[in-house]
Amino acid sequence: MTSERLEFFDAAAVLFDLDGVITPTAEVHMRAWSRLFTGLLAERGAQPYADSDYFEHLDGRPRYEGVQSLLASRGIDVPWGEPADPDDADTVCGIGNRKNAVFTALLEAEGIAAYPGSLAVLDRLAMLGIPAAVVSSSKNAVPVLAAAHLADRFPVVVDGVVAEAEGMPGKPRPDIFLAGAARLQVDPANAVVVEDAVSGVRAGAAGGFGLVVGVDRGVGSAALREAGAHVVVGDLADLLTTEKGASL
């Protein structure tokens, strides 16, 4: 980080993505998507599902948009449908709901624990009195935070449920990050966005946030930097080893 750039622990607030940043729910999501699309694509005789599909079409996107993007990559066109569609409906919403049922079953069976490095950073922010928010495209953010015993850490949660209710477009548009900053009553220029997805990094950069931190959980440092990350770390604990962090 340069002297002109906002320092992480000098921020007025920090806005975290959830999956892959605070909790390893990205791994659960990846397994749920793989389980869903492996069968669905095989039934349609389409190109098989690959791990790269998660990063290219699903990671960081609202669920239904992700479904549509992946299906389009295979030349499959199904009706959009309605969010209330049953999970056996052959619609974008039905397929998305089917994935959510798989995800919920995995979460209930396995539980979830936060990354130790992320907990350490949250502890440091709390000690400094810097507020934190969760800004996630997922509609499962609240139950995931509850399962990880983190609900009391975040006074503000802007997730897929809030975005849908208020008509906000998802990442890579910056709207939900800007909504999080507004709820915390901070200027984006004085706040930090922490993201592991290319779409989320693009959203933070587009929102004019003072610092965008990319967390490389598999998408690659180069891709995160190209999307607009000022800094890329392999784990949030790395932020505590910077000169600024060590002096606090």
pLDDT digits (tens, 9 = 90+) for 184-197: 999 999 999 999 99
Q: Measure the CA dihedral 235/241/245/248, to 10°.
A: 130
Would the pLDDT of 155 be above 60? yes
pLDDT tens digits, 126-143? 999 999 999 998 888 998
The pLDDT, as a whole number, for residue 242 is 64
Q: Where are the beta strands (DSSP E) in the chain?
A: 13-16, 132-135, 156-158, 191-195, 211-215, 231-233
In Å, how far are 170, 203, 222 from 178, measured between CA atoms? 11, 9, 25
pLDDT > 70 fraction of the chain, expressed in percent and rounded:
96
Give catalytic residues, as residue numbers.
17, 19
Domains observed in the chain: 8-24+113-246 (3.40.50.1000), 27-110 (1.10.150)
- 3-class DSSP assignment, residue 195: strand
Q: Which two tokens stand for residue 161?
A: 């449920």
Between 170 and 211, the more confident residue is 211
The pLDDT, as a whole number, for residue 4 is 67
Instruction: State the pLDDT confidence band at 2, using cuts at 50, 70 and 90.
Output: very low
pLDDT > 90 fraction of the chain, expressed in percent and rounded:
80
Mean residue pLDDT of the chain comes to: 92
Q: What is the pTM of this model?
A: 0.78
Between CA 51 and CA 24 the distance in angstroms is 16
Say if CB 199 and CB 180 are below 8 A apart.
no
Between 45 and 62, the more confident residue is 45
Would the pLDDT of 183 be above 70? yes
